[in-house]
């Protein structure tokens, strides 16, 4: 199985759609929808075929891309990114489906951007070369810039510019960090390489590690968004069209967290353990801040938006607990959160469609009796959001909290408060829209089986499936997540101190050197 | 008296190596003579074809004389041909060809006379090639003047437009101050080293001359300031926006890419070859200049509404990025500089081609609003502009990203990691104005604004009718240039290895650089 | 005579020229001052040539003279063009291009 095929099918279909003559613009949606479905089938085949006992990467593709700069076209899948790739393929298919059932202005451009976005996100998840990761990470912004700016609403241009500048500031810092990492870790007379496996083998001084860590953290935390870096979130969430918002919130936010696990922890173990406390503080503050803000918002989208900040705080907490359970919980939670957020935003869009495009909690309410199916689906998703026992989120959060309790009990205790707050805002969101008196804007009508169900149903079904059988994920992710944090965890258990050379203990494949 | 003179050996001249220059000079004369013939066919078709033919021939000859790793004098101790000279010559030829195409329907052509216009363009290109091959302070100066003086005239060539004349005079005055400063600096360097040949200066610096000789240091400082004028490096950049805006736009495009490349050719020759031993003296100063340039250029560009002024300021900022490659004084820095110059040519020509296409038909001239709704009205212009802007901003999948990557790589590698961070910080600021252009094209008001109906005063006459799309197709050569350059920008962003092979050859051309 | 005196004179000339370009408003005088700057360079070149005893500097100076002549011709041409277009012959009044 070659990873290049699922990676480039969406882009290829998007390009074809773009090049269609003006008269055949209707074909664009079929093309890109077909492309996303093809990728989804391929990825499902990968899920089945995945060898969960293998430690290393599977289906590795490795070519020299730019030899002079030591950049490789290197792709691979392991337990860490397998499910993120799967959920990406799923959400893109669902969003393409949702879009295809509606009319869009300039369809060729829209579907081209959708295809480009999928390729960029999949590329960032699959890349096993730091420079390639940076390329895809930055490339993601281009389609989203257009998708929000052209098809958004309200202050769309301002919002998209803010979004791109915020995130690209982070990305550019990461670019500088990535180049510095590649250059400075090259031994005298050695060939420069950005391949993650090579970088992991090479060592860096502690001071260098710290400033490079900070550059990477800036990029990933802005993308997440985490607490002090979330300034772009409210405007962007308000302006973004629904399917794009699902992708933005469900998938783009995970790339940052994934970057910590894939790149930062294995390559900069010393800095990760030194700055562990800082990251934990950011995580916990994000949880509390996000939860409190989610509770006080009137705009339903922003309730979900701030709850995402809290959820990503949980994920960051799990990662920087530097504990195998925490890391695994973080990976599971990334997948769950993507599904939950997709469900929530679709439901909100349906509600808005029944109530004169209003998303204000003040003006909604009492929809449950008029729309029983919608209410049922919403309830499932809302319960998953608050991590009800039996939901997949429960598994994720409990693992994260176990990890935090094992390593840093104080942060674990504070974070537990976040779980309680999640119940408050999730139930509030459900009640305000579904129960209470009938809001002034609400018009009767359930969700449409033809327009809405095809997109929402798969998300909810997968969520239910994961609730029933979480071992499917746990089993496949366990081996890899443990090795990814091993080096940093080993560091943090030593007495922390500014040792000049990162020791070669820890990272599993360093023993060969 | 005469007999001893007869014994003086003539310098060795390698006519094969000289052939591109001979072709250029011959072509220049030919075009000037042909321009004497009147007639629409000659003026409208034959002259541009002759000019293109000359540039094409020179380009072909340059590639023909190219042998990898070669480094030999073509006129003893005056001109030398190596991969650096040849690759930068390609930039000049391509820029020249693009300018001929872009100027085809320009008002400056009829104002100044097509023959004169093309002749001046060709002699400017000749000057640039001479400059890139210079091995001696004298040839360096001749080259820089041969490239500048025709450009002064070209800037003023739209003689019926005040702004054009004003730009010409401003450029002349400031350019001449730059030249005089450079000359004085060169004189002092000559005074310190006792020779005008680069190789001789390099030898003298390592040998007899103290590196802290005040004469030498003053000379370097003055030469640096003079070159900074030419390359529009801050704080000697103030002329750039005015001159770029006033000059006829095809000339602006030519100045933006070719003059910049030529100025950096001398920076490389002078600093990374002749004065390399004094690197620790000049590198911190140049690094400071680069930092100022990046900040000033990017901040200056934000507030601009005229696209030409915006591109001028962005050009200042880009000069700062490129300077970082000169500062480090390593082989990698040289390669990164040349790489970025090649890429910069493509990105900028694409952008200017779109500006030209719109300027001729839009009542907003070169204002930002001339691009409004272009994404829907004329995608064949909007896409190249979008790609050019994203490339200049350094987005991946464009050659601009690889170029910036290489420059930062070279900076970090040469122990100037902080300069790499400055480049990154500059790119962040630059997003504001590059993305604004993209937003205006794609996210402006959804309905296309047609130009106002006849009756209201219009600054430009319609070329192809009233619809923007017809206007775009009425000047196919401009659209062609834009699309070709944008396509090349994308291609080299995804598959940059041909360019890397080219610059790898360049990297070995300055022998004194360490690997 | 010591070469230093020649250098001092040329430096003074260069500074006078530079100051003139910055201060004077009449474009003709500005051109004149540019000439002064170039000739300051020439003087330095010839003096150094004498000091080192080789001809490089003198050849350089000859080339510079030609260049200076070209610059003046072009400058005068542009100025005449401006007169024809009735543009003020005062550089401060050139405000078509803000800058």
Average pLDDT over residues B144-162: 90
Give residue B344's pLDDT band: very low, low, confident or very high (50, 70, 90). Answer: very high
Q: What is the pLDDT of residue A13?
A: 95
Predicted confidence (pLDDT) at residue A111 exceeds the cutoff of 50: yes
Low pLDDT (below 70) residues in chain C? 1, 86-99
Average pLDDT over residues B375-399: 91
Number of H helices, E strands in chain A: 22, 2
Predicted confidence (pLDDT) at residue B241 exceeds the cutoff of 90: yes
Q: What is the pLDDT of residue A496?
A: 46
Q: Are C99 and B242 in contact (CB under 8 A)?
A: yes
Q: Which residues pair with B79 in a beta bridge?
A: B75, B134
How many other CB atoms are found less than 10 A from the CB of residue B96? 27
Check whether residue B313 and residue B256 sit in a common domain.
no
Task: Evaluate whether residue B312 is within a structural domain.
Answer: yes
Q: Cβ of A182 under 8 Å from any chain B Cβ?
A: yes
**Residue A186 per-residue DSSP state:** S
Q: What is the nearest CA distance from B262 to chain C, expressed in angstroms?
A: 18
Give residue B141's pLDDT band: very low, low, confident or very high (50, 70, 90). Answer: very high
Higher pLDDT, A491 or B418: B418
Q: What is the DSSP string of B432-477?
A: HHHHHHHHHHHHS-SS--PPPPBTB--SS--SS-SSHHHHHHHSHH
> Cβ of A182 and B409 within 8 Å?
yes
Query: What is the spatial distance between Cα A222 and Cα A253, in angstroms, rounded to a whole number?
Result: 9
Q: What is the pLDDT of residue A454?
A: 87
Predicted confidence (pLDDT) at residue A511 exceeds the cutoff of 80: no
- Could you report the per-residue pLDDT of B108-129, keeping only the tens digit for each? 777 778 889 999 999 999 999 9
Query: What is the spatial distance between Cα A91 and Cα A102, in angstroms, rounded to a whole number?
Result: 17
Best interface-test mutation with B: which of A25, A142, A172, A211 has the largest number of B CBs within 10 A? A172
Q: Which of B284-293, B360-369, B450-459 has the lowest mean pLDDT?
A: B450-459
Chains B and C touch (3+ CB pairs under 8 A): yes
- Could you report the per-residue pLDDT of B281-338, keeping only the tens digit for each? 889 999 999 999 999 999 999 888 899 999 999 999 999 999 999 999 888 899 999 9
Predicted confidence (pLDDT) at residue A502 exceeds the cutoff of 60: no
Q: What is the pLDDT of residue B451?
A: 43
Query: What is the spatial distance between Cα B249 and Cα B115, in angstroms, rounded to a whole number?
Result: 18
Average pLDDT over residues A273-297: 91
From C41, C79, C87, residue closest to B187, measured CB to CB: C41
* CA nearest neighbour of A413 among A401, A423, A421: A401
Q: What is the pLDDT of residue C87?
A: 54
Q: Cβ of A156 under 8 Å from any chain B Cβ?
A: yes
In three-state secondary structure terms, A26 is coil
Predicted confidence (pLDDT) at residue B455 exceeds the cutoff of 60: no
- Beta B79-82 vs A58-66: how paired, if at all? unpaired
In three-state secondary structure terms, A25 is coil
Predicted confidence (pLDDT) at residue A490 exceeds the cutoff of 90: no
What tokens were used for B215? Answer: 């004469």
| Domain end (from B274, B308, B339) | B274
Check whether residue B301 and residue B372 sit in a common domain.
yes
Task: Evaluate whether residue B240 is within a structural domain.
Answer: yes
> Cβ of A175 and B397 within 8 Å?
no
Predicted confidence (pLDDT) at residue B405 exceeds the cutoff of 80: yes
Task: Evaluate whether residue B270 is within a structural domain.
Answer: yes
> Cβ of B408 and A175 within 8 Å?
yes
What tokens were used for B249? Answer: 């736009």
- Could you report the per-residue pLDDT of A386-439, keeping only the tens digit for each? 888 888 888 888 899 988 888 888 888 888 888 888 888 888 889 888 887 777
Give residue A370's pLDDT band: very low, low, confident or very high (50, 70, 90). Answer: confident
Q: What is the pLDDT of residue B158?
A: 85
> Cβ of B497 and A66 within 8 Å?
yes
- Could you report the per-residue pLDDT of B50-108, keeping only the tens digit for each? 999 999 999 999 988 887 767 778 887 888 888 888 889 999 999 999 999 999 888 77
Check whether residue B45 and residue B142 sit in a common domain.
yes
Predicted confidence (pLDDT) at residue B447 exceeds the cutoff of 80: no
Instruction: Report ipTM (2 d.p.).
Output: 0.90
Average pLDDT of the residues of chain B: 87
Q: Which chains touch B (3 or more CB pairs under 8 A)?
A: A, C
In three-state secondary structure terms, A507 is coil
Q: What is the nearest CA distance from B83 to chain C, expressed in angstroms?
A: 27
Domain count, chain B: 2
> Cβ of C48 and B239 within 8 Å?
no
Q: What is the pLDDT of residue B456?
A: 40
Which fold would CATH assign to domain C3-89? Answer: Helix Hairpins (1.10.287)
Query: What is the spatial distance between Cα C36 and Cα C29, in angstroms, rounded to a whole number?
Result: 10
Give residue A449's pLDDT band: very low, low, confident or very high (50, 70, 90). Answer: confident
Burial of A311 (C-beta count, 10 Å sphere; 0-12/13-18/19+):
buried
How many other CB atoms are found less than 10 A from the CB of residue B227? 22
Give residue A77's pLDDT band: very low, low, confident or very high (50, 70, 90). Answer: very high
Number of H helices, E strands in chain C: 3, 0
Q: What is the pLDDT of residue B318?
A: 95
- Within 8 A of B428 by CB-CB distance, chain A residues are 165, 168-169, 172
Burial of B75 (C-beta count, 10 Å sphere; 0-12/13-18/19+):
buried
Q: What is the nearest CA distance from C56 to chain B, expressed in angstroms?
A: 7
- Within 8 A of A182 by CB-CB distance, chain B residues are 409
Check whether residue B384 and residue B426 sit in a common domain.
yes
- Within 8 A of C48 by CB-CB distance, chain B residues are 187, 190-191, 194
What tokens were used for B345? Answer: 């040519």
- Could you report the per-residue pLDDT of A162-200, keeping only the tens digit for each? 999 888 888 899 999 999 999 988 887 788 889 988 888
**Residue A435 per-residue DSSP state:** S
Q: What is the pLDDT of residue C92?
A: 62
Q: Are A487 and A507 in contact (CB under 8 A)?
A: yes
Q: Are A256 and A219 in contact (CB under 8 A)?
A: yes
Query: What is the spatial distance between Cα B175 and Cα B171, in angstroms, rounded to a whole number?
Result: 5
Question: What CA–CA distances, in Å, run from B377 to A149, B462, B470, B500, B506?
Answer: 18, 15, 10, 37, 43
Q: What is the pLDDT of residue B470?
A: 61
Predicted confidence (pLDDT) at residue A30 exceeds the cutoff of 60: yes
Buried b / exposed e over A467-479, threshold 16 CB at 10 Å, is beebeebbebbbb
Question: What percentage of chain B's residues is helix, strand, coil (to nearest 5)?
Answer: 75, 5, 20
Q: What is the pLDDT of residue B58?
A: 95
From C18, C56, C74, residue closest to B190, measured CB to CB: C56
What tokens were used for B482? Answer: 């834009």
Query: What is the spatial distance between Cα A332 and Cα A319, in angstroms, rounded to a whole number?
Result: 11
Q: Are A42 and A50 in contact (CB under 8 A)?
A: no
Q: Are B418 and B338 in contact (CB under 8 A)?
A: no
Query: What is the spatial distance between Cα B335 and Cα A66, in angstroms, rounded to a whole number?
Result: 14
Quick one: CA torsion of A420, A421, A422, A425, rounded to 10 degrees? 140
Q: What is the pLDDT of residue B448?
A: 39
**Residue C25 per-residue DSSP state:** -
Q: Are B376 and B443 in contact (CB under 8 A)?
A: no
Q: What is the pLDDT of residue B472?
A: 60
Q: What is the pLDDT of residue A438?
A: 77
Average pLDDT over residues A363-371: 80
- Could you report the per-residue pLDDT of B15-52, keeping only the tens digit for each? 888 899 999 999 999 999 998 888 888 888 899 999 99
Average pLDDT over residues A492-506: 48
Average pLDDT over residues A125-133: 94
Burial of A105 (C-beta count, 10 Å sphere; 0-12/13-18/19+):
exposed
Q: What is the pLDDT of residue B222?
A: 94
Average pLDDT over residues A454-476: 89
Contacts of B300 (CB under 8 A, 6+ apart): B241, B313, B316
Residue B307 structural domain: 288-449+461-515
* CA nearest neighbour of C95 among B314, B167, B107, B153: B167
Instruction: Count CA within 13 A, CB hemisphere, residue B171.
Output: 35
CA–CA–CA angle A276, A282, A287 (5° rounding): 125
CA–CA–CA angle C24, C29, C32 (5° rounding): 125
Average pLDDT over residues A281-295: 92
The beta strand positions in B283-357, using DSSP E, are none
Predicted confidence (pLDDT) at residue B446 exceeds the cutoff of 60: no
The answer for B9, left when phi > 0, alpha when psi is -120 to 50, beta otherwise, is beta
Q: Are B380 and B369 in contact (CB under 8 A)?
A: no
* CA nearest neighbour of B94 among B484, B407, B355: B484
> Cβ of C38 and B183 within 8 Å?
yes
3-state per-residue secondary structure call for A261-276: HHHHHHHCHHHHHHCH
- Could you report the per-residue pLDDT of B191-237, keeping only the tens digit for each? 998 889 888 888 888 777 777 888 889 999 999 999 999 899 988 89
Q: Cβ of A132 under 8 Å from any chain B Cβ?
A: no
Q: What is the DSSP string of B123-192?
A: HHHHHHHHHHTB-BHHHHHHHHHHHHHHHHHHHT--TT-HHHHHHHHHHHHHHHHHHHHHHHHHHHHHHH
* CA nearest neighbour of B342 among B95, B60, B71, B56: B95
Q: What is the pLDDT of residue A505?
A: 39
Residues of B with CB under 8 A from a CB of C: 137-138, 141-142, 145, 149, 152-153, 156, 159-160, 162-163, 165-170, 172-173, 176-177, 179-181, 183-184, 186-188, 190-191, 194-196, 238-239, 241-243, 245-246
């Amino acid at each position: 199985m070659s990873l290049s095929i699922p990676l480039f099918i969406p882009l290829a279909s998007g390009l074809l759609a773009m090049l269609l003559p003006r008269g055949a613009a209707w074909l664009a949606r079929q093309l890109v929808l077909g492309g996303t479905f093809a990728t989804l089938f391929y990825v499902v085949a990968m899920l089945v075929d995945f060898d969960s006992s293998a430690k290393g990467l599977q289906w590795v593709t490795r070519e020299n891309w730019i030899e002079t700069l030591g950049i490789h076209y290197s792709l691979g899948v392991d337990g860490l990114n397998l499910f993120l790739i799967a959920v990406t393929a799923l959400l893109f298919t669902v969003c393409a489906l949702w879009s295809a059932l509606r009319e869009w202005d300039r369809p060729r451009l829209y579907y081209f951007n959708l295809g480009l976005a999928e390729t960029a996100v999949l590329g960032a998840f699959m890349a096993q070369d730091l420079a390639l990761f940076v390329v895809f990470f930055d490339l993601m912004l281009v389609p989203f810039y257009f998708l929000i700016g052209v098809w958004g609403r309200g202050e769309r241009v301002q919002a998209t510019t803010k979004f791109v500048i915020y995130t690209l500031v982070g990305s550019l810092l990461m670019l500088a960090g990535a180049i510095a990492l590649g250059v400075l870790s090259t031994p005298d007379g050695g060939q420069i390489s950005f391949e993650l496996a090579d970088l992991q083998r090479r060592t860096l001084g502690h001071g260098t590690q710290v400033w490079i860590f900070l550059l990477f953290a800036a990029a990933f935390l802005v993308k997440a968004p985490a607490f002090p870096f979330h300034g772009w979130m409210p405007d962007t969430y308000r302006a973004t069209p629904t399917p794009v918002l699902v992708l933005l919130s469900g998938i783009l936010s995970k790339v940052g967290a994934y970057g910590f696990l894939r790149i930062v922890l294995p390559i900069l173990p010393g800095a990760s353990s030194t700055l562990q406390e800082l990251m934990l503080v950011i995580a916990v503050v994000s949880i509390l801040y996000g939860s409190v803000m989610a509770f006080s918002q009137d705009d339903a989208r922003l309730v979900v938006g701030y709850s995402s900040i809290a959820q990503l705080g949980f994920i960051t907490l799990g990662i920087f607990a530097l504990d195998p359970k925490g890391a695994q919980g973080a990976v599971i939670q990334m997948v769950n959160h993507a599904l939950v957020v997709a469900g929530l935003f679709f439901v909100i869009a349906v509600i808005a469609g029944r109530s004169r495009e209003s998303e204000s909690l003040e003006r909604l309410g009492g929809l449950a009796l008029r729309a029983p199916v919608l209410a049922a689906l919403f309830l499932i998703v809302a319960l998953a959001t608050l991590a009800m026992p039996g939901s997949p989120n429960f598994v994720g959060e409990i693992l994260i909290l176990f990890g935090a309790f094992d390593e840093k009990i104080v942060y674990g205790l504070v974070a537990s408060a976040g779980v309680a707050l999640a119940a408050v805002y999730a139930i509030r969101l459900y009640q305000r829209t579904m129960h209470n008196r009938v809001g002034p804007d609400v018009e009767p009508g359930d969700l449409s089986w033809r327009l809405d169900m095809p997109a929402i149903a798969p998300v909810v079904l997968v969520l239910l499936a994961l609730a029933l059988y979480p071992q499917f994920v746990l089993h496949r992710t366990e081996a890899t997540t443990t090795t990814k944090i091993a080096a940093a965890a080993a560091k943090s258990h030593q007495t922390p101190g500014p040792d000049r050379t990162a020791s070669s203990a820890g990272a599993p494949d360093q023993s060969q050197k | 008296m005469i007999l001893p003179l007869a014994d003086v050996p003539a310098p060795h001249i390698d006519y094969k190596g000289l052939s591109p220059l001979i072709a250029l000079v011959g072509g220049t004369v030919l075009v000037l003579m042909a321009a004497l013939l009147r007639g629409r066919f000659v003026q409208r078709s034959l002259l541009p074809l002759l000019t293109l033919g000359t540039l094409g021939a020179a380009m072909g000859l340059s590639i023909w004389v190219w042998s990898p790793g070669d480094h030999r004098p073509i006129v003893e101790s005056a001109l030398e041909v190596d991969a650096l000279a040849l690759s930068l010559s390609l930039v000049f030829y391509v820029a020249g060809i693009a300018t001929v195409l872009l100027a085809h329907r320009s008002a400056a052509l009829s104002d100044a006379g097509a023959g004169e216009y093309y002749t001046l363009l060709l002699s400017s290109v000749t000057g640039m090639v001479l400059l890139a091959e210079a091995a001696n302070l004298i040839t360096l100066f001749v080259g820089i003047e041969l490239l500048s003086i025709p450009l002064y005239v070209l800037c003023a060539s739209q003689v019926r437009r005040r702004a054009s004349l004003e730009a010409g005079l401003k450029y002349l005055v400031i350019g001449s101050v730059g030249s005089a400063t450079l000359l004085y600096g060169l004189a002092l360097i000559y005074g310190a080293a006792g020779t005008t040949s680069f190789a001789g200066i390099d030898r003298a610096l390592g040998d007899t001359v103290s590196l802290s000789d005040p004469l030498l240091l003053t000379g370097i400082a003055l030469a640096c300031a003079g070159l900074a004028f030419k390359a529009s490096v801050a704080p000697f950049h103030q002329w750039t926006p005015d001159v770029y805006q006033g000059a006829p736009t095809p000339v602006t495009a030519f100045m933006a890419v070719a003059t910049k490349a030529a100025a950096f050719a001398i920076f490389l020759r002078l600093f990374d070859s002749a004065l390399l031993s004094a690197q620790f003296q000049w590198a911190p100063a140049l690094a400071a200049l680069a930092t100022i340039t990046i900040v000033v250029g990017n901040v200056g560009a934000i507030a601009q509404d005229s696209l030409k002024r915006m591109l001028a300021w962005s050009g200042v900022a880009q000069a700062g990025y490129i300077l970082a490659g000169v500062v480090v004084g390593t082989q990698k820095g040289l390669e990164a500089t040349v790489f970025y110059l090649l890429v910069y040519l493509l990105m900028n020509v694409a952008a200017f081609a779109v500006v030209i296409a719109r300027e001729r038909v839009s009542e907003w001239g070169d204002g930002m609003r001339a691009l409004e709704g272009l994404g829907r009205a004329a995608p064949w212009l909007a896409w190249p502009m979008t790609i050019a802007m994203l490339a200049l901003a350094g987005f991946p999948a464009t050659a601009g990203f690889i170029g910036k990557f290489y420059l930062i790589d070279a900076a970090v590698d040469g122990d100037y990691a902080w300069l790499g961070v400055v480049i990154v910080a500059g790119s962040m600021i630059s997003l504001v104005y590059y993305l604004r252009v993209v937003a205006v094209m794609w996210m402006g008001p959804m309905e296309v604004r047609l130009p106002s109906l006849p009756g209201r005063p219009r600054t430009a006459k319609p070329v192809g009718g009233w619809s923007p799309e017809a206007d775009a197709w009425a000047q196919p050569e401009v659209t062609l240039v834009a699309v070709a350059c944008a396509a090349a920008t994308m291609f080299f962003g995804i598959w940059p290895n041909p360019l890397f092979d080219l610059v790898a050859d360049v990297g070995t051309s300055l022998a004194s650089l360490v690997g | 005579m010591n070469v230093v005196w020649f250098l001092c004179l040329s430096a003074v000339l260069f500074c006078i020229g530079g100051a003139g370009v910055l201060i004077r408003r009449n474009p003709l005088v500005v051109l004149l001052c540019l000439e002064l700057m170039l000739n300051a360079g020439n003087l330095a070149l010839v003096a150094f040539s004498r000091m080192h005893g080789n001809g490089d500097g003198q050849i350089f100076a000859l080339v510079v003279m030609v260049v200076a002549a070209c610059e003046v011709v072009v400058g005068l041409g542009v100025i005449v063009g401006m007169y024809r277009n009735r543009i003020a012959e005062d550089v401060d009044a050139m405000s078509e291009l803000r800058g």
